[in-house]
Amino acid sequence: MIEFNDIAKSFTSGAIKTEVLKGVSFKVDKGEFVSIMAPSGTGKTTLLNVLGCLMRATSGSYLFEGHDIETLNDDQLSEIRNKKIGFVFQTFNLLEKTSTLDNVLLPLVYSDIYPADASKKATGLLEAVGLKERIHYKPNELSGGQQQRVAIARALINDPAVILADEPTGNLDSASAKEIMEIFKSLHSQGRTIIVVTHDSSIARQAGRAIYLKDGRVDKEEVLK
């Protein structure tokens, strides 16, 4: 499903060039649960941005479902982000004045066709993550763990090919973090492809395979289950 071949990413500010990714190569098969583990400040967010088609690599090739990402224009990349990738962020990124239900429906606003059964589908996803009774609540009426569950439901609304989670438990207490990881495990058991980017080894080791980054490169890979 995903293939990184010698991906590099650098940033230039004036005469200063900073190399963040320095030739990253790995593959993720359909239905895998993979964690990408790296300390803060070592390029994992940049890697996630490239994975999520939010940023283009400086060099190397990125194949997503057989498509060479570097050959696609901005509109095509936007379509992949909207239809093929579900994002879950550390900070939830929910609209504070909008109901739980409408937050989940938000990605559909940018789709070509708004499904007639959209509200029914969103309600079903909220029920699946344990929030059936809170569909009309606003984010500030929910706990951090509940807000992250809303974010997961939102990530699923377009039935994406892959879910990318950036430090999904970083702002949660240990009990809430455990609940969120159980949801990811359940989604994986249903055949979902999940990639979790984290600096927390206890989170990384709950995936089926871990990819460890060091100094902008893949240091090692480990099969966990």
pLDDT tens track for 164-184: 999 999 889 999 999 999 999
Q: What secondary structure letter does DSSP report for 78?
A: H
According to the model, what pLDDT value does residue 112 have?
Answer: 73
Is residue 56, in this structure, part of any structural domain at all? no
Q: What angle do CA 193, 194, 198 make, to 5 degrees?
A: 160
Mean pLDDT of 38-54: 89
CATH number at residue 207: 3.40.50.300
Q: What is the mean pLDDT of the segment spanning 16-39?
A: 94
Confidence of residue 133 (pLDDT cuts 50, 70, 90): very high
Structure tokens of 217? Answer: 């490169």
44-68 mean pLDDT: 93
Q: What pTM was computed for the model?
A: 0.92
Domain hosting residue 206, numbered range: 30-44+79-223
173 in a structural domain: yes
Judge whether 91 lies within some domain: yes
Residue 49 located in a structural domain: no
In a domain, 52, yes or no: no
Residue 95 lies in a domain: yes
Does a structural domain hold residue 145? yes
- Is 51 contained in some domain? no
Question: Which helix H or strand E contains 182, and what residues bound it?
Answer: helix 174-189
Number of domains present in the structure of the chain = 1
